[in-house]
Amino acid sequence: MAKVAMTVNGKSVSREVEGRTLLVQFLRDDLRLTGTHVGCDTSQCGACVVHVNGEAVKACTMFALEAEGAEVTTIEAMANEDGSLNVVQQAFQDYHGLQCGFCTPGMVMSATSLLKDNPKPTEQEIRDYLEGNICRCTGYHNIIKAIMAASGQDMPSMAAE
Amino acid sequence: MPKDSATGTGIGASTKRREDVRFLTGNGNYTDDINVHGQAYVHFLRSDVAHGRINGIDTSAAEGMPGVVRIFTGKDFEGIGGLPCGWQVTDKHGEVMKEPGHPVLAQGKVRHVGDPVAAVVADSLAEARDAAEAIILDIEELPAAVNMKAALEPDAPKVHDDLSDNLCYDWGFVEENKGAVDEAIKNAAHVTTLELINNRLVANPMEPRVAVADWNRSNDEYTLYTTSQNPHVIRLLMGAFVLGIPEHKLRVVAPDVGGGFGTKIFHYAEEAFCTFAAKACKRPVKWTSTRSEAFMSDAHGRDHVTKIELALDKDNNFTAIRTETLANMGAYLSTFAPSVPTWLHGTLMAGNYKTPNIYVNVKAVFTNTVPVDAYRGAGRPEATYQLERVIDMAARELGVDPIALRRQNFITEFPYATPVAVEYDTGNYPATMDKLEEIADLAGFDARRKESEAKGKLRGLGVNCYIEACGIAPSNLVGQLGARAGLYESATVRVNATGSISVMTGSHSHGQGHETAFPQVVAEMLGIDASMIDIVHGDTARGPMGMGTYGSRSLAVGGSAMVRATEKIINKAKKIAAHLMEASEGDIELKNGQFTVAGTDKSVAWGDVTLAAYVPHNYPLDDIEPGLEETAFYDPSNFTYPSGAYACEVELDPETGKVTVERFSAADDFGNIINPMIVSGQVHGGIAQGIGQALLENCIYDENGQLLSASYMDYAMPRADDVPFYAVDHSCQTPCTHNPLGVKGCGEAGAIGSPPSVINAVIDALQSGGHKVAHLDMPASPSRVWAAMQG
Amino acid sequence: MYAFDIERPTSIADAVAALAKEDAQALAGGQTLIPTLKQRLAMPSVLVSLSGIAEIRGVCKDDAGLLCIGGGTTHGTVAKEAVAHYPGLAELAAHIGDPAVRNRGTIGGSLANNDPSACYPAAALASGATILTNTREIAADDYFQGMFTTALEEGEIVTEVKFPIPQSSCYMKFEQPASRFALVGVFVAKFADGVKVAVTGASNNGVFRWSEAEAALSSDFSASALEGMSLSADDMIADMHGTAAYRAHLVAVMTRRAVSAAK
**C101 contacts in chain A (CB < 8 Å):** 43, 58, 61, 132
Looking only at Cα atoms, what is the longest distance across chain C? 56
CATH of domain A87-154: 1.10.150.120
In terms of Cα–Cα distance, which of B262, B284, B267 is closest to B275?
B284
Instruction: Compute the nearest-CA separation of C213 from chain A (Å).
Output: 31
Length of chain A (residues): 161
Q: Mark out chain B residues that contact chain C at CB-CB < 8 A.
A: 126, 129-130, 133, 290, 292, 655-658, 696, 698, 700, 708-709, 712-717, 719, 781-783, 786-787
Q: Is residue B285 scored above 90 in pLDDT? A: yes
pLDDT, position A160: 41
Q: Other C-beta atoms within 10 Å of B195: how many? A: 12
Q: Are residues B373 and B440 in the same domain?
A: yes
In DSSP terms, B167 is beta-bridged to B365
Parallel, antiparallel, or unpaired for β A2-8 and C59-61? unpaired
Instruction: Identify whether residues B755 and B694 lie together within a single domain.
Output: yes
CB contacts, 8 Å: C249 with chain B: 786
B470-515 per-position pLDDT tens digit: 988 899 989 999 999 899 999 999 999 999 999 999 999 999 999 9
* Contact (CB, 8 A) for B657 and C184: no
Size of interface B-C (CB pairs under 8 A): 47
Which residues in chain A are contacts of C35 at CB distance < 8 A? 41-43, 61
Cβ separation A44–B712 shorter than 8 A: yes
Domains recognised in chain C with CATH numbers: 5-49 (3.30.43.10), 54-163 (3.30.465.10), 168-261 (3.30.390.50)
- The b/e string for B210-232 (b: 16+ C-beta within 10 A; e otherwise) is bbbbbbeeeeeebbbbbbbbbbb
B581-624, pLDDT tens digit by residue?
999 999 999 999 999 999 999 999 999 999 999 999 999 999 99
* CATH number of B67's domain: 3.90.1170.50
- When pLDDT is cut at 50, 70 and 90, the band that residue B791 belongs to is confident
Same domain, B284 and B308: no
CA of B473 vs chain C CAs: smallest distance (Å): 39
Contact A18 C3 (CB under 8 A): yes
Of B129, B696, B700, which has the smallest distance from its Cβ to C177's Cβ?
A: B696
Gap between the Cα atoms of B121 and B488, Å rounded = 38
Spatial separation of the C-alpha atoms in residues B722 and C177, rounded to whole Å: 9
Q: What is the DSSP letter of B511?
A: S
In order of B238, B575, B576, B579, the CA distances from B622 in angstroms are: 44, 12, 12, 11
Q: Is C174 on the interface with B (CB under 8 A)?
A: yes
Q: Are C51 and C117 in contact (CB under 8 A)?
A: no
When pLDDT is cut at 50, 70 and 90, the band that residue A154 belongs to is confident
Give chain C's end-to-end CA distance (angstroms, integer): 45
Domain count, chain B: 3
Closest CA to C163 of C71, C263, C51, C262: C71
Percentage above 90 pLDDT, chain B: 97
Query: In terms of CA atoms, which chain B residue is nearest residue A143?
Result: B720
Which residues on A lie below 8 Å from B718 (Cβ)? Answer: 139-140
Domains A2-76 and A87-154 share a fold: no
Mutate to test the interface with B, among A99, A109, A158 (most CBs of B within 10 A): A99
The residues with which B224 forms a beta bridge, in sequence order, are B213, B252
| Residue contact A100–B258, C-beta within 8 A | yes
CB A39 within 8 A of CB A102: yes
Please give the DSSP secondary-structure letter assigned to residue B84.
Answer: P
User: Is residue B661 classed as helix, strand or coil in its secondary structure?
Assistant: strand
Residue ending a domain, choose from B247, B280, B297? B297
* Chain B residue at shortest CA distance from A104: B24
Decide if B648 is inside a domain: yes
Helices C244-261, B782-789: axis angle to 10 degrees equals 100
Task: Kindly determine whether residue B126 and residue C3, on different chains, have CB atoms separated by under 8 Å.
Answer: yes
pLDDT at position A159: 45
Domain final residue pick, B634, B653, B683: B634
In a domain, B87, yes or no: yes
**Residue B656 sits in the same domain as residue B776:** yes
Q: Are B748 and B167 in contact (CB under 8 A)?
A: no
Would you tell me the crossing angle of helices B402-409 and B380-398 to the nearest 10 degrees? 120
Once rounded to an integer, what is the mean pLDDT over residues B677-684?
98
Partner residues linked to B701 by β-bridges:
B707
Per-residue pLDDT tens, chain C, 263 aa: give them.
999 999 999 999 999 999 999 999 999 999 999 999 999 999 999 999 999 999 999 999 999 999 999 999 999 999 999 999 999 999 999 999 999 999 999 999 999 999 999 999 999 999 999 999 999 999 999 999 999 999 999 999 999 999 999 999 999 999 999 999 999 999 999 999 999 999 999 999 999 999 999 999 999 999 999 999 999 999 999 999 999 999 999 999 999 999 999 99
CA B409 to chain centre: 29
- The answer, for C31 touching chain A at a CB cutoff of 8 Å, is yes
B712 and A42 within 8 Å at the Cβ level: the answer is yes
Q: Is B486 exposed, middle or buried (0-12, 13-18, 19+ CB in 10 A)?
A: middle
B318 and B429 together in one domain? yes
Which chain C residue has the Cα nearest residue A3? C6
Distance (Å, rounded) from C-alpha C153 to C-alpha C141? 16
Domain-wise residue ranges, chain A = 2-76, 87-154
Phi, psi of B145, deg, nearest 5: -95, 110
Residue B161 inside a domain? The answer is no
Query: What is d(CA C145, CA C151) in angstroms, rounded to the nearest whole number?
Result: 7
Residues C248-251: contacts with CB under 8 Å, at least 24 apart:
C248/C202, C249/B786, C250/B656, C250/C174, C250/C183, C250/C184, C250/C202, C251/C184, C251/C186, C251/C199, C251/C202, C251/C210
pLDDT level of residue B10 (50, 70, 90 thresholds): confident
CB B601 within 8 A of CB B386: no
- Helices within B470-605 (DSSP H only): 475-480, 514-526, 560-580
- DSSP for C10-37, please give it: SSHHHHHHHHTSTTEEEESS-TTHHHHH
Report yes or no: A96 at the B interface, CB cutoff 8 Å: yes
Q: How far apart are CA A94 and CA A111, in angstroms?
A: 15
Range of the structural domain that residue B239 is part of? 37-142+206-259+264-297
**Residues B274, B333 share a domain:** no
In this complex, which chains have at least 3 CB pairs below 8 Å with chain B? Answer: A, C
The nearest alpha carbon in chain C to A44 belongs to C179
Taking the Cβ of residue C76 and every Cβ of chain A, the question of whether any pair is shorter than 8 Å is answered with: yes
Q: How far apart are CA B690 and CA A139, in angstroms?
A: 10
Give the integer Cα–Cα distance in Å for B101 and B111: 12
With bands split at pLDDT 50, 70 and 90, how would you rate the model's confidence at B3? very low
Looking at chain A from residue 71 to 130, which residues have their Cβ under 8 Å from any Cβ of chain C? Answer: 110, 113-114, 129
Q: CB–CB of A87/A93 below 8 Å?
A: no
pLDDT band at B397 (very low <50, low <70, confident <90, very high): very high
Distances (CA, A) of B385 to B316, B379, B566, B778: 20, 10, 40, 10
pLDDT-derived band at B9 (thresholds 50, 70, 90) equals confident
Q: What is the mean pLDDT of residues A100-120?
A: 98
Is this complex scored with an ipTM above 0.95? Answer: yes
Same domain flag for B405 and B279: no
Same domain, B627 and B655: no
* Residue C2 forms contact with A (CB below 8 Å): yes
Mutation site, C98, C113, C175, interface A, largest A CB count within 10 A:
C98
Residue B21: its chain A contacts at CB < 8 A?
A: 85, 93
**DSSP per position, B12-57:** T--PPPTTHHHHHTT---BGGG---TT-EEEEEEE-SSSSEEEEEE
Single-letter amino acid, residue C19: L
CB contact under 8 A, A65 and C6: yes
- Strand, coil or helix: B640: strand
B358: which strand partners?
B321
At B738 the three-state DSSP class reads coil
Regarding whether B469 and B374 lie in a shared domain, the answer is yes
Q: Which residues are bridge partners to B365 per DSSP?
A: B167, B328
Residues in chain A with CB shorter than 8 Å from the CB of B255 are none
CB C101 within 8 A of CB A131: no
Judged on CB neighbours under 10 Å (0-12, 13-18, 19+), B72 is buried
Q: Per the omega criterion (within 30 degrees of 0), is the bond before B779 cis?
A: yes
Q: How far apart are CA A11 and CA A159, in angstroms?
A: 41
A62 touches chain C (CB under 8 A): yes
Output the pTM of the full model. 0.97
Contact A158 B720 (CB under 8 A): no
DSSP chain C: ----EEE--SSHHHHHHHHTSTTEEEESS-TTHHHHHHTT----SEEEE-TT-GGG--EEE-TTS-EEEETT-BHHHHHHHSTTT-HHHHHHHTTSS-HHHHTT-BHHHHHHH--TT-SHHHHHHHHT-EEEESS-EEEHHHHB-STT-BSPPTT--EEEEEEPPPSEEEEEEEE-TTT-SEEEEEEEEEETTEEEEEEESSBTT-SEE-HHHHHHHHH--SGGGGTT----STTB--BTTB-HHHHHHHHHHHHHHHHHH--
Shortest CA gap C230–chain B (Å):
14
DSSP states of A32-63 as a string? --TTS----SSS-S-TTEEEETTEEEEGGGSB
- Domain membership of residue B455 (yes or no) is yes
The residue type at B195:
E
Note whether B26 contacts A123, CB cutoff 8 Å: no
The answer to whether residue B197 sits within a structural domain is no
Rounded Cα gap, residues B571 and B395, in angstroms:
56
Q: How is the beta sheet containing C168-175 ordered, strand by strand?
A: C168-175, C182-191, C194-200, C208-209
What is A2-76's CATH number, 1.10.10.60, 3.10.20.30, 3.50.50.60, 3.40.50.2000?
Answer: 3.10.20.30
A82 min Cα distance to partner chain B (Å): 13
Determine contact: A75 vs chain B, CB below 8 A.
Answer: yes
| Yes or no, beta carbons of C240 and B698 under 8 Å apart | yes
Determine the Cα angle at B488 with ends B487 and B490, to 5°. 140
My answer on whether B309 and B427 are in the same domain is yes
Q: Does the pLDDT value for residue B437 go beyond 70?
A: yes
Question: Which residues does B90 contact at the CB level (< 8 Å), separation at least 6?
Answer: B96, B97, B169, B482
B528: domain CATH number is 3.30.365.10
Residues of chain C contacting A110 with CB distance shorter than 8 Å: 99-100
Distance between CA B241 and CA B234 in Å, rounded? 10
Give the closest-approach CA distance of B53 to chain C in angstroms: 26
